[in-house]
A and B are shown apart, each in its own frame.
Chain A
């Protein structure tokens, strides 16, 4: 019985040591999906009615290929789709900057 508990303790300590040294983090899947984090944000309007569609979303595949397709062709298509979005981000960012720089036209009166 003592051996059993001793083994459990050794395994726990070994697991903790592995975690502490960062070995186990190698098996942790990437980073949390941004959609889940973005969608969890409170809104500016706290009084508006909440609709059922405001519930937490499911993960969405934004790539043009299947998530389990790691072929060269799929990666090339994925990369091209990402580049399109990157280009659109440049436009979005520029629009945001322009909206900050916008000034009212002086009126006559």
Chain B
């Protein structure tokens, strides 16, 4: 075995270790926030030129290997793009704790680092057996990706719901003042009060659904290859998404209540104005 071969194996082992570290870190529920900062492998400019020729016995196998590399890189790039988008979305969350945001970001960033390292490794693979293993690991890593993405997306939707609830609560308080003023002026506000009460009910329900969604997705951890855990994660993620949809329906109904109250107040004002006008004539 030549010195060159030893060097290649050492480099491959180092890169493989760097690829694994973020995945393991995530398995510990993002315990180490900054542990994997060094794990990000920077792709050098003109990374494609790094792609080494796979040592194969035939041209057909070489072509097949190159095709596998291209497909693998494309899939990795797709996931990295999605993960980068969710990192941006997490930054915009305002109603969940900073700690929760940090955890979501860390877990997502770990996945980005792991996939980036894997991409570099696949592009540099010169051994067919290693390439096969690396390509297969994309599918294995997908199970973490399939958890991180919905976890963050559902939390983002719940965060948005909380913002809307907050806004509607404030508007509800304003409308309450307007209804009370109209009532004090002798107007019949029965319908408006009913709509206002419904608004409160819908907002309370939406809030419960948003909270339930967050509570469901947050404790989820990667399945580590356990099919039972994987099935359980999938079920819980679907339940959480169901909570989002129910909460969303509540908010749509609450928004209609607000519209009805505003319209009703407008009608009261028009009636009052017409009555005053008639009385002065």
User: Which of A's residues lie within 8 Å of B, judged by CB?
Assistant: 29-35, 37-51, 53-54, 60-63, 67-70, 72, 74-75, 78-79, 81-83, 85-86, 88-90, 92-93, 95-100, 102, 104-105, 107-109
Contacts and interface: CB of A to CB of B under 8 A. Distances in A.
Contacts of B135: 107-109
Interface stretch (B1-9, B154-162, B273-281): B154-162
Contacts of B221: 44
Contacts of A78: 167, 170-171, 174
B96 A45 contact: no
Contacts of A46: 29
Q: List 4 tightest A-B contacts by C-beta distance, closest first.
A: A108-B68, A70-B174, A92-B157, A96-B153
Residue among B75, B157, B266 with the highest chain A CB neighbour number at 10 A: B157
Contact of A34 (B173, B210, B262): B210
Nearest to A76: B262
B214 interface: yes
Nearest to A89: B160
A109 to B, nearest CB: 4
Interface of B: 28-31, 33, 64, 67-68, 71-72, 74-75, 78, 94-100, 102-103, 106-107, 131-132, 135-136, 138-139, 142, 146, 149-150, 153-154, 156-178, 200, 203-204, 207, 210-211, 214-215, 218-221, 237-238, 241, 244-245, 248, 251-252, 255, 258-259, 262, 266
B171 A41 contact: no
B160 A82 contact: no
Contacts, number: 206
Contact of B218 (A42, A63, A72): A42
Given A33-B166, A34-B210, A70 B154 contact: no
Contacts of A61: 170
Contact of B30 (A45, A67, A99, A108): A45
Q: Would you call the interface of chain B mostly helix, strand, loop, or mixed?
A: helix
17 contacts: A38-B158, A39-B96, A40-B97, A45-B31, A45-B102, A47-B29, A62-B163, A63-B167, A70-B177, A89-B160, A92-B157, A99-B149, A102-B146, A102-B149, A105-B75, A107-B71, A109-B136
B263 to A, nearest CB: 11
Given A48-B30, A62-B163, A70-B174, A92 B156 contact: yes
Contacts of B136: 107, 109
A82 B166 contact: no
Contacts of A45: 29-31, 99, 102-103, 106
B221 to A, nearest CB: 8
Contacts of A90: 248
A39 B131 CA distance: 45
Nearest to A28: B200
Contacts of B75: 104-105, 107
Residue among A69, A83, A85, A88 with the highest chain B CB neighbour number at 10 A: A85
